[in-house]
Structure 1
Amino acid sequence: MISFSCSEDFLDNVPTDAISAEAALSSPENMMLILNGLHRQVYSQAQLPGSSSSRSGESHFIPALDAMGGSIIHSSPGNGWMTSDLQWLTHTNPTYTTVYNFWYQRYHFIASSNSIINAISDGDFAVSPQLNNILGQAHAYRAWAYHKLVTTFAKGYTIGNPSTDLGVPIVFSTEAPYESAPRSTVEEVYDQMENDIDEAISYLENAGSPVNKSHISLNAAYGIKARIALSKGDWQTAAESAALAREGFPLLNESQWLSGFNTYDLPEVIWGGRVIDSETNYYQSYFYYISPTFNGSQNRSNPKIISSELYDMIPETDFRNEAWLPLAPNTNPSASNGEGGSYESDPNYDSEDEFWDAWSEVISKYGMTSGHNTHPYMTVKFLQKNPGTIDPDDVIYMRSSEMYLIEIESLAMMNAISEAQELLQEFGESRDSAFDASQFATQEELIEQIKFQRRVELWGEGFSFHDHIRWDEPLDQSNSGAAKVLYQNGFFQERPSQNDAWIWKIPQAEIDANPYITSSDQN
């Protein structure tokens, strides 16, 4: 790992530009400042030493992973943002900013967590709910970061040989000479993050209540544990942890679900980032990439769409069908499907007045500007509180819906059919007034329905790339509405078990700087 990852400069920039690393670790109050810096870093595009601000926080990687995984479909090249991501050109290039920032930002979380954990272990601090809260969040962040790394830079646990497949370096030191480590096996990395998340839970059980949803709560820690277990195929642990994670976070009703997903105050949100005005990312924010109302060139020229094949599977009785507009007119002359700019090229309209009246209705209803284009199957799931502006909105990392779906999938995989059906009915009828889980009577039928539910419910929330890996499914945009001329390599990719392009390249900078990793260790 590059030496700055554990340097004092690295810690200096976490809580404030003025506090030293020694002072930052001198008291629980100052350690909380480090954690507050990490809370901001999850969503922010703040530039870390040696990196680029353009690709760093979850604001970028949530929509990027869904673009790579075929969930979020770009309707045109737009202003070029993420085009190379969805074409599968960035994560397959070891010199690209995408792999560099993903790797080093996660190791920034690990280095900062190490500093807190080691300082408390070596120090003489009185045990208190505050200290337990700090230790719990530090261990949870370390587990979260390793999970992000090992599921991205190594072969999937359930499709590989975890005892021998190379994972990522496990590092604990925060003192000179700041050396990194060789790549541990995937199994060893899982052992470490499972230990960390269990430690986090034990501390958070004896901690005070979280200050807000930006902090990792006990529920969020159980959610991280559920994600780890799901990616490993540890179905019992995944089901039990997901059930605990969603306690106290009831499912959204129709009006809440369709309100725009722009605040972590929604009752389903377990963990999210409260983006404050002074620290917003503006044209690198999550809503810049995904919201149809954000007043940026990425959105005005490139409405994001759902797979038409997937959308057409949503029943009319399911209110989630209102989150996309299948008949929105294709007003962009640069639309990649070649049908944009006129009623004459858009098969859904027969006259110019009808075409532009439909556009005007969408613009007026959702508060877009006159410069915004529309496109069939465009999303209106993510809407700004103040549409037509560049104002910041919250970023959601974890919802109880995800935990329901993890629990249902895990029950189905354990062949607990009746239990899976019962929980699926509870979830399904909260979205679809005519939902009937009894029609999914076998494990295979349940799993197919769970896949459908995840793809609709969690659309745009960053799961599709890694879901393909878990399910060992190819990426195939043939019937989605994606344009092959735009997507190129990202239009079709063989299943992950047969295709190592799903494994991200290790940054060349890491290979150059880490004495324990050579070019022969590259993915």
Structure 2
Amino acid sequence: MKNIVKKLAPLALAVLVLTGCEKEYLDTTPASAVPNEMVFGTTEGATVALNGIYRSMWTSWDSRHDLFGPKSTDLSMDMMGNDVITPVRGYGWYVSDYNHSAYGTATNISRSGGSWRSYYRTINNANLLIQNVDGAAGTQARKDYIKGNALFLRAHSYFYLINLFQHTYKGHENAPGVPLYTEPTTEGKGRGTVQEVYNQIIADLDAAEALLAGQTKDHVSHINQKTVKGLQARVALQMENWERAATKANEARQGYTLMNAATYKAGFGAANSEWMWGLQIPNDQSTIYASFFSHMSNTAAGYAGLGSTKLITRELYEKMSATDVRKEIVQAPTADNKGTYHNYASLKFKLPITGSWAADYVMMRASEMYLIEAEALARLGRDGEAVAVLETLVKARDPQYAAPATSGTDLIEEIIMQRRIELWGEGFSILDLKRLNRPIKRITGTAANGEHVAALILVTERSITDPQILYRIPQDELNNNKALSAGDQNP
């Protein structure tokens, strides 16, 4: 961490502010020489630093077109799972994630190294804000807003780090986690336990929830108390804390309106009434090919549109009825695979304006909260309530829907299936397989039939508790962090 902290500490000070296309810079020449009081002396300066953290969450790294912050990690986790297909090697991006070789490399620009640096960059810069904002000149409400956002960002980063670099929470509470930093430092730490990391995540989110009470977010890229509750629900689901998951998910979704069919078919490229958090990317600051839409939008002039198309599995496609809007945004299969797009190609993710890369990355939606609440209620034996919540969501997609199972294990399985359909492509595959203790199991055949091509995926089946599934700690971290040794590396 020592080496990485020195590189990352100034980053929040020198990036663009999230105000549409307007460009504002702090005077950072050199950035490392800027004293804290120039940045954190006022809440205005601290807001610029906060905006910088958010912007850093979608910028690209090292000229790699598959390293662009949290959404690149989300895409990696989906490519590792069962439900996203890429039929051809194309330009090669994400093929190593698809065949399970990407995360086994420990270089800085590998999948493991990129995710480690991205999340720890956010953590370090959040720590700078958390440590300094209380002393800034400005109103208490404004300090609370900035600190609440920073605490959320730290918790969000640790949640993904702990799930990438270790198995799921339940049954692994005492396993080695990731180094835990709650203040800016250049001194490395050892791997805290999974339990210790989750304790910090919960503490940060609880503190953020209190600080953001009654606050309105500045920008679509920022978060508010409802977003905090949404992440609390996501974390509780992973921990199998069903009561907290149900409660927080219900609280989080209040006030949000589920998308209607027209909005759903318009594509997930612009924040709407259902979005609880998104990252807004102006056209002049977009990373174009090194972006989520390049890799996932089959309608854009990016990698997916140029041949590395992304498909939904036939299994999920056939689980949707003819009246389900989610089926309408998948290319219906034809015998000769000569439709407008490849058989089973998803049209879920679209750039809002043709010829422009201005778009929003979806980070959290109210629909996820309905699914968390429904599953948690079902696991608590509150089947009637679970069915009501599930049907409220799915009827917004398919007016003819009625839950085919209304109790017990069958109901839980239906909720999980609806979760796979609704959240397809949004980054939940590996998280869900881990917490459900279900294997990676890809149905193979031909991509035209909505099945994985074995020659491309290589790994057709793997236990989710196989140590090989874990991301590797970057070798630079092991070399420079005196609290870590070669024995701390994941297998």
Pair in the same fold by TM > 0.5: yes
Match of 2:115 in 1: 102
1:440 to 400, 405, 422: 405
Is contact 1:4-1:10 (8 Å) kept?
A: no
Match of 1:170 in 2: 180
Report SS of the residue matched to 1:327. coil
Tell me if 1:320 matches 2:335.
Answer: no
Match of 1:481 in 2: 451
Unaligned runs of 5+ in 1: 329-347, 350-354, 363-373
Match of 1:310 in 2: 316
Match of 1:336 in 2: none
How far the C-alpha of 1:384 sits from its partner, in A, is: 2.2
Partners of 2:212 and 2:291 in 1: CA distance: 30
Partners of 2:72 and 2:274 in 1: CA distance: 22
Matches within 5 A, 1:402-413: 402-413=368-379
Is contact 1:308-1:377 (8 Å) kept?
A: yes
Partners of 1:196 and 1:52 in 2: CA distance: 32
Is contact 2:3-2:477 (8 Å) kept?
A: no
Tell me if 1:515 matches 2:485.
Answer: no
Match of 2:81 in 1: 69
2:473 aligned partner, one-letter code: I
Tell me if 1:293 matches 2:299.
Answer: yes
Tell me if 1:505 matches 2:469.
Answer: no
Partners of 1:13 and 1:72 in 2: CA distance: 36
1:329-388 per-residue CA deviation (whole Å, 9 max, x = no partner) reads: xxxxxxxxxxxxxxxxxxx14xxxxx7xx54xx3xxxxxxxxxxx31111111122234x
1:18-44 per-residue CA deviation (whole Å, 9 max, x = no partner) reads: 242521121111111111011112222
Match of 2:22 in 1: none
How far the C-alpha of 1:46 sits from its partner, in A, is: 5.0
Tell me if 1:420 matches 2:386.
Answer: yes
2:48 aligned partner, one-letter code: L
1:461 to 398, 417, 426: 426
How far the C-alpha of 1:92 sits from its partner, in A, is: 1.8
2:100 aligned partner, one-letter code: W
How many residues align structurally? 469
Match of 1:161 in 2: 172
Match of 1:87 in 2: 99
Tell me if 1:185 matches 2:193.
Answer: yes
How far the C-alpha of 1:259 sits from its partner, in A, is: 0.8
Is contact 2:249-2:370 (8 Å) kept?
A: yes
Match of 1:256 in 2: 263
How far the C-alpha of 1:52 sits from its partner, in A, is: 5.4
1:274 to 259, 280, 293: 280
How far the C-alpha of 1:152 sits from its partner, in A, is: 1.0
Is contact 1:137-1:200 (8 Å) kept?
A: yes
How far the C-alpha of 1:165 sits from its partner, in A, is: 0.5
Report SS of the residue matched to 1:461. coil
How far the C-alpha of 1:313 sits from its partner, in A, is: 1.5
Higher Rg: 1
2:57 to 29, 42, 55: 42
Partners of 1:323 and 1:209 in 2: CA distance: 33
1:493 aligned partner, one-letter code: R
Tell me if 1:13 matches 2:14.
Answer: yes
Is contact 2:50-2:129 (8 Å) kept?
A: no
Partners of 1:508 and 1:300 in 2: CA distance: 34
Unaligned runs of 5+ in 2: 17-24, 29-33, 445-449
How far the C-alpha of 1:14 sits from its partner, in A, is: 4.3
Partners of 2:428 and 2:172 in 1: CA distance: 23
2:225 aligned partner, one-letter code: L
Report SS of the residue matched to 1:167. strand
1:378-422 per-residue CA deviation (whole Å, 9 max, x = no partner) reads: 1111122234x4623211100000011011111111111111111
Is contact 1:66-1:465 (8 Å) kept?
A: yes
* Distance change in 2, residues 1:297/1:152 (3 Å): closer
Partners of 2:406 and 2:50 in 1: CA distance: 46
* Distance change in 2, residues 1:420/1:115 (3 Å): same
Partners of 1:14 and 1:113 in 2: CA distance: 14
1:197 to 183, 201, 205: 205
1:320 aligned partner, one-letter code: R
Is contact 1:150-1:186 (8 Å) kept?
A: yes
Partners of 1:232 and 1:443 in 2: CA distance: 20
Report SS of the residue matched to 2:359. coil
Partners of 2:35 and 2:378 in 1: CA distance: 48
How far the C-alpha of 1:154 sits from its partner, in A, is: 1.1
Partners of 1:77 and 1:21 in 2: CA distance: 48
How far the C-alpha of 1:53 sits from its partner, in A, is: 6.6
Partners of 1:21 and 1:465 in 2: CA distance: 41
Partners of 2:113 and 2:35 in 1: CA distance: 24
1:476 aligned partner, one-letter code: K
1:200-233 per-residue CA deviation (whole Å, 9 max, x = no partner) reads: 0100015x31112210111111111111111111
How far the C-alpha of 1:260 sits from its partner, in A, is: 0.8
Tell me if 1:472 matches 2:445.
Answer: no
1:483 aligned partner, one-letter code: V
Partners of 1:520 and 1:459 in 2: CA distance: 36
Report SS of the residue matched to 2:192. strand
Partners of 1:477 and 1:390 in 2: CA distance: 35
Tell me if 1:243 matches 2:250.
Answer: yes
Partners of 1:39 and 1:297 in 2: CA distance: 25
How far the C-alpha of 1:104 sits from its partner, in A, is: 1.3
1:117 to 130, 133, 141: 130
RMSD between superposed Cα atoms in Å? 1.9
1:280-317 per-residue CA deviation (whole Å, 9 max, x = no partner) reads: 01101111000111113442212211111221121222
Q: How does the TM-score come out when normalised to structure 2?
A: 0.91
Partners of 2:356 and 2:136 in 1: CA distance: 47
Report SS of the residue matched to 1:250. coil
Partners of 1:2 and 1:378 in 2: CA distance: 44
Is contact 2:175-2:193 (8 Å) kept?
A: yes
* Distance change in 2, residues 1:173/1:423 (3 Å): closer
2:110 aligned partner, one-letter code: T
Report SS of the residue matched to 2:103. coil
Partners of 1:201 and 1:166 in 2: CA distance: 28
Tell me if 1:227 matches 2:234.
Answer: yes
Is contact 1:283-1:390 (8 Å) kept?
A: no
How far the C-alpha of 1:17 sits from its partner, in A, is: 5.8
Match of 2:21 in 1: none
1:247-276 per-residue CA deviation (whole Å, 9 max, x = no partner) reads: 111111111111111101x11001001110
Report SS of the residue matched to 2:256. coil
